[in-house]
Amino acid sequence: DGGITQSPKYLFRKEGQNVTLSCEQNLNHDAMYWYRQDPGQGLRLIYYSQIVNDFQKGDIAEGYSVSREKKESFPLTVTSAQKNPTAFYLCASMAGRWNEQFFGPGTRLTVL
């Protein structure tokens, strides 16, 4: 059963701690994405990767880092430098430029 998984669904962290959000896909897609969604707002692109071992900053990359060591995996680290990390984080993958994006179920991060 193909799809994208994100874990955990809910995550609580203390201010000043780094936290890593997991994203795995078995769709064999080359491109993967991380978005942030705040209440009443659309999706804002944090980072994206079009191929293994390569990634680019999106519109709001400050305070975040990623890696793409395997095609299936694209973890996102929210660092202590991110000023307002509490949000709903969505991971997506895409087969190619003319295709749709498939989204994971999301991780809701709350920083206390």
DSSP 69: S
Q: Considering only residues 49-78, where is the footprint of other proteins by CB under 8 A?
A: 50, 56, 58
Contact 38, 50 (CB under 8 A): no
**What length does the chain have?**
112
Residue 105: is the preceding peptide bond cis (ω within 30°)?
no
To the nearest whole angstrom, how small is the minimum distance from the Cβ of residue 112 to other proteins? 20
100 binds other proteins (CB under 8 A): yes
Query: Which residue's CB is nearer to other proteins, number 19 or number 55?
Result: 55
User: Which of these segments, 19-27, 31-39, 60-68, 78-86, binds other proteins (CB under 8 A)?
Assistant: 31-39
